[in-house]
A and B are shown apart, each in its own frame.
Chain A
Amino acid sequence: MRRTFGQSLSLYGGVLVIALAIGLPFWWVLTGSIKLPKEIIQRVPTMVPHSFTLQHFEKLLQASDFPIYLFNSMVVALFSTAFTVLLALPAAYAFFRMEFPGRNALYKTILLAYAFPGVVVLIPLYGLFAKVGLIDSPVALVIVNVAFALPFSIWMMRSFLATVPREIEEAAIVDGAPTTTILVRILMPLIAPGIASVAIFAFISSWTEFLFASVLIVSDVRRTIPVGFAGIIGQYQIDWGLLLAGATAAIIPVVALFALVGRWFVAGLTDGAVK
């Protein structure tokens, strides 16, 4: 169908507004991170950098603990992702296909947990972790991240499983494949994009988590990016160049991950919402 000129104008106008609203702030951060300090705080800001320097990144890598934060964040996020997928996949399959008493009630309860306020369990969890000596340990962060990513992951995984035609599973049953074989040999390869989506979701949840990381981690060398970074902001004299370089460095890993598998993630999010 052809659009009228007015329709085209409003469509592309809208696209432009969205692109600018989302992209421009990031553009300014990215370009700001390579501007000389005096250009950063210039009264009339520049759209395209007039100067170029890597001094902020040098400072970030050498003078701050940022590389350690980056490493910590990476470790916590990777472990959280692995455990989330490992727990979510069988649970999602059971909720999707298998029959057991209390199935629907349990599923609804788990979904409710998705929207559960983290701050509510923060206090007692702190007590529990203190008792078992997990305060200031990345293990505590992994546990918390998995718990908060799990409900949504199960939901998302389940909707991916629902895209596999029932008859394929039935064919495998007739062919003599046990349930675990069906899951591993048939379903897992078929919902690989779904597993990737869940993994991205878990990774991003962990990567951006602030509240628990700020309370459960005490020593500076164990901090993750969100908390460690917040510490840098709080310093007396704000060094914008350093912060922008740090922001750029914190954006790059998730953007790289997203560039690889983001399409699946978005598809998973939208397909999942349909069910």
Chain B
Amino acid sequence: MAGLSLQSVKKRFGETEVIGGVDLDVADGEFVVFVGPSGCGKSTLLRMIAGLERTSDGRILIGGRDVTDEDPAKRGIAMVFQTYALYPHMTVATNMGFPLEMTRRPKEEIDRKVAEAAKILHLEAYLGRKPRELSGGQRQRVAIGRAIVRQPGVFLFDEPLSNLDAELRVQMRIEIARLHQELGTTMIYVTHDQIEAMTLAGRIVVLRAGRIEQVGAPLELYEDPDNSFVAGFIGSPRMNFVPATVTAVEDGRAVVAAPEAGLTGMAVTTRGQPPKLGTSVSLGIRPEHFVPAKGAAGTLSGKISLVERLGGVTYGHVLLASGSMITVESREADRFEIGKTEIFGLQRAYLFGADGIRL
């Protein structure tokens, strides 16, 4: 068991910097999820922690020990790969015992640990099989088993569920969460799927272009995003952004409006001093934060152009007078009528500056 510390870690491929100075402290036993769009460097960062990519600059500490230049095998980590990376020619038992065999442990110990891991993962019946005789979910469990037997200080998961179908993915997600509860080991988990991030993480690290955008508990990121990128990335469907101007400051709150988008005065509490009158801002409203117009703090009007009915919820895609589209969520299946112009009330909203920083 061990914590993890990244200290201004950088990675360059030739001239291009793919990880640009990442600082992060992960406490022992924490479940941290790296999330971000493809190409944000989350997998590279994980592979650097694993030692599969060399760190160009900065230091990596695992359990307080500097492992920046250490071999992957000596870092006290175990990794679960997206493609499972099981050894196709070995049985499940040999696959799981392989890391122990590499450290020349006695055979009884290997057998015992493999049996223990197999029990945790319900793989006892499959120990004699080859990977190709297993289903996707079972292969994934073997890969996890191979990681467990090493009793690593830190588990690394590289998009482990993205090769599974939707149903299995949910099932395995629950299993990984259970595993974390049982083992209590530090886990670092990379995904591009924000639902996986929200459900599994103790803390989420949102990455963009090789830099950390925000670190925090799932609900913290949802409720209190630092910038428009995080606000847009966390939450589904994504947050709507409407360009607006500050028209007044009342009771320390900024009142914004955008007549061309049908937005009338909406008062928003800002983090610091409200911006000056006339400042161009971006108003962020989550699809689930629309309410009936009557009595609402502010309103937004537009024409309903498309309706998606999912059963439990319904999404109306609304064309604003300014030409941009927003998404509005409703619990009522027949809430929206295509072609009708409507006024929507705003319950909550966020303000972002022109540079995307939350105001």
Contact between chain A and chain B defined by CB under 8 Å: yes
User: Chain A residues in contact with chain B, CB under 8 A?
Assistant: 165, 167-168, 170-177, 181, 186, 189-190
Asked if B52 CB lies within 8 Å of chain A CBs, one says yes
- Besides A168-B85, A172-B87, 20 more A-B contacts (Cβ < 8 Å) are A165-B83, A165-B85, A167-B81, A170-B52, A170-B81, A171-B81, A171-B85, A171-B86, A173-B52, A173-B72, A174-B52, A175-B73, A175-B102, A175-B146, A176-B74, A176-B102, A177-B73, A186-B87, A189-B89, A190-B89
23 contacts between A and B (CB under 8 A): A165-B83, A168-B86, A168-B87, A168-B88, A170-B85, A171-B81, A171-B85, A171-B87, A171-B146, A173-B71, A173-B72, A174-B72, A174-B78, A174-B99, A175-B98, A175-B146, A175-B150, A176-B99, A176-B103, A177-B98, A177-B102, A186-B87, A190-B88
Q: How many residues of B contact A (CB 8 A)?
A: 24
- C-alpha gap A175/B87 in the complex (Å): 12
Asked if B263 CB lies within 8 Å of chain A CBs, one says no
Which residues in B have their C-beta under 8 angstroms from that of A186? 87
- C-alpha gap A175/B86 in the complex (Å): 11
**Are A167 and B82 neighbours in the complex by a CB distance under 8 Å?**
yes
Which residues in A have their C-beta under 8 angstroms from that of B51? 174
**Are A174 and B77 neighbours in the complex by a CB distance under 8 Å?**
yes
Give residues of chain B (27-71) contacting chain A, Cβ–Cβ below 8 Å: 50-52, 71
Shortest Cβ gap from B76 to chain A (Å): 11
Most chain B Cβ neighbours within 10 Å, of A176, A177, A189: A176
| 8 nearest CB pairs, A to B | A176-B73, A175-B99, A167-B85, A171-B85, A176-B102, A189-B89, A167-B81, A174-B72
Asked if B9 CB lies within 8 Å of chain A CBs, one says no
Asked if B206 CB lies within 8 Å of chain A CBs, one says no
Shortest Cβ gap from A181 to chain B (Å): 7
Instruction: Describe B's contact surface by its main secondary structure.
Output: loop
- C-alpha gap A168/B90 in the complex (Å): 12
Which residues in A have their C-beta under 8 angstroms from that of B74? 176
Which residues in B have their C-beta under 8 angstroms from that of A175? 73, 98-99, 102, 146, 150
User: Chain B residues in contact with chain A, CB under 8 A?
Assistant: 50-52, 71-74, 77-79, 81-83, 85-89, 98-99, 102-103, 146, 150
Chain B: CB-nearest residue to A170: B52
Which residues in B have their C-beta under 8 angstroms from that of A189? 89
Given A167-B82, A167-B83: A173 in contact with B73 (beta carbons within 8 A): yes
Shortest Cβ gap from B17 to chain A (Å): 21
Chain B: CB-nearest residue to A175: B99
Most chain A Cβ neighbours within 10 Å, of B51, B71, B81: B81
- C-alpha gap A165/B86 in the complex (Å): 10
- C-alpha gap A158/B72 in the complex (Å): 25
Most chain A Cβ neighbours within 10 Å, of B72, B79, B85: B85
- C-alpha gap A172/B95 in the complex (Å): 10
Most chain B Cβ neighbours within 10 Å, of A172, A174, A186: A174
- C-alpha gap A189/B78 in the complex (Å): 24
Which residues in B have their C-beta under 8 angstroms from that of A170? 52, 79, 81, 85
Chain B: CB-nearest residue to A166: B85
- C-alpha gap A78/B67 in the complex (Å): 48
Shortest Cβ gap from A39 to chain B (Å): 53
Most chain A Cβ neighbours within 10 Å, of B77, B99, B103, B150: B99
Which residues in B have their C-beta under 8 angstroms from that of A173? 52, 71-73
- C-alpha gap A176/B76 in the complex (Å): 10
Chain B: CB-nearest residue to A186: B87
- C-alpha gap A216/B74 in the complex (Å): 54
Which residues in B have their C-beta under 8 angstroms from that of A176? 73-74, 99, 102-103
Shortest Cβ gap from B91 to chain A (Å): 13
Chain B: CB-nearest residue to A164: B88
